[in-house]
Amino acid sequence: MDDEIENLLKETKTLVEENNKILKGIRRSNRWGAFIKTVYWIIIIVITIGAFAYIQPYLNSMIKIYNQLEGTSTDITNLKNNQNSFTNGIKEYFLGTSTPVKK
């Protein structure tokens, strides 16, 4: 009986050592995976920030041009309104109408 128990203990010890090696390998693999995933995301974030920093001057100039075009559009609308009021004033002067100019 002692020999049988001793053999079972040796087998159990062998299996435990083998399982320990496998578990250590799995843990090592998980650590490397986490490290690589962290490095991957750091690279993605750095590239994104770098691309934004590179493109930012172009975006700023495009926004400035857009604002200038918007201001020009407003100026053209105001000029058109002023022209209409000027035209109405001239018509009133020459036609002698006494109706007020609509603004």
Question: What's the pLDDT tens digit per position in 60-84?
Answer: 999 999 888 887 777 777 766 666 6
Look at residue 82 in the predicted model and tell me its pLDDT.
66
91 contacts: CB under 8 Å, gap ≥ 6: 97
Please list, residue by residue across 9-37, b when 16 or more beta carbons sit within 10 angstroms of its beta carbon and e when fewer do: eeeeeeeeeeeeeeeeeeeeeeeeeeeee
Structure tokens at 81: 């309104």
Structure tokens at 29: 């693999």
- What pTM does this model have? 0.52
Distance in angstroms between the alpha carbons of the first and the last residue of the chain: 115
Q: What is the pLDDT of residues 27-53, one digit of tens each?
A: 999 999 999 999 999 999 999 999 999
- CB half-sphere exposure, 99, CA atoms < 13 A: 8
